[in-house]
Each structure stands twice: as C-alpha cells, then as structure tokens.
Amino acid sequence: GMGEKSILEIANALKNGDDITKIKGIAYITKELDTISDYEEIASYEEVKENKLSYAKATLTQFQNQDPIGSKTLIQKHNDRYLVVNPPQMPLGEKELDHVYSLSYTYTYHPMYEDKGIPALNEVKFSITHNRGCFGECNFCALTFHQGRKVTSRSVDSVVKEAEKMTSFKDFKGYIHDIG
C-alpha cells in the first residue's frame, strides 16, 4: 500500500523502542506465529510456485483482504519462515493528501540515472495525481492492491498550486499531460 502513515508509525516506534509488527500496512518475516492472532494462512510459497490453482486461491485471498476495516493478517510459509502481511492502513483524507503533494518533490529521477535518464518519466512528469484508490477491481490492474478500494481526492486548491508550480519548470511545454 501507500506508505506514508506506516513510515511515520515505524519511525516513531523505532524511536521509542516499540514493536513494529502490529503496524498496519507493513509486511515482515518471522519464524514464530505465537504473537499473531486473527490471521488467515494462504498456500506456501513453494506450493503456489508449483500449483496454478493454489496461486489463484492465494491471490483471491489477498484481493479479499484489501479493506482496512475488515481484513485479516495474511500469513504465507516460505521454507522455515513466514511472511506476515498486516491489514492495510486507512486511506489518507483530503487534508493528508494535500500535505503529501505539497512536499518539495524534485519531479525528476535520482542523479544516479543522469547518464541514461528514464524515458518513461517524460510521460508522467507533467501529470498531476488528483486522487487515490479505485473501486473498479479490474482483473488487469493492481491499483486496488496498493491504493485501496476507497477513492479519496485532493482539494482543488492543492491541484491548482501543483499545476502553477509545474509552469515554472524550464522544460514545461505549456500543457499538463494528465490529471487523474
């Protein structure tokens, strides 16, 4: 999922010496399951790797547990360890989204890519994210898995401010590719 809330909770927990394994929206590896309750175990990695039906059932279970209110913790065995996937965080509200998109992003790739660039960035550099989430649940799309089913939007003022900021970029060509 989108990690803003989880990252802050992890940072605070680590600062205070608290356990991070109960934080929503994270996954971790463990050898013991004694501290985990109300979970659903999906077929092991070894099984889903070899069996298409097991893979499909595991994917369905993951899909059915994308709701931040009613989802269970998911467990998948892999050799002598377990992957634990906690239920997702609640989606950000309008003010939280506005704050996230008001941060000082560079709108470019990391300097390590300077020699080659990232051609795909050209398609999205002058795009604005207006909302997160999708209720469509399309078979070909994973948006529900990482943004959730609930659609939340930014304020008009926030979107306009970002558009105005883009017009000051030296490579701005006078149009915004997409607002979506």
pLDDT digits (tens, 9 = 90+) for 74-132: 999 999 999 999 999 999 999 999 999 999 988 888 999 999 889 888 888 899 999 99
Average pLDDT (30-47) is 95
Chain CA centroid to CA 140, Å:
17
Tokens 């659903």 -> residue: 40
- C-alpha separations of 93 from 49, 99, 133, 139, 155 in Å: 38, 10, 11, 26, 10
How is residue 102 written in tokens? Answer: 């008001």
Average pLDDT (121-146) is 87
Output the pLDDT for position 180: 85
Tell me the pTM. 0.84
The 10s digit of each residue's pLDDT in 62-76 is 989 988 899 999 999
Output the pLDDT for position 22: 94
**For residues 120 and 138, what is the distance between their CA atoms, to the nearest angstrom?**
24
**For residues 101 and 161, what is the distance between their CA atoms, to the nearest angstrom?**
10
Using the predicted structure, report yes or no on whether residue 1 has a pLDDT greater than 70: no
Angle at 127 between CA 166 and CA 24, to 5 degrees: 110
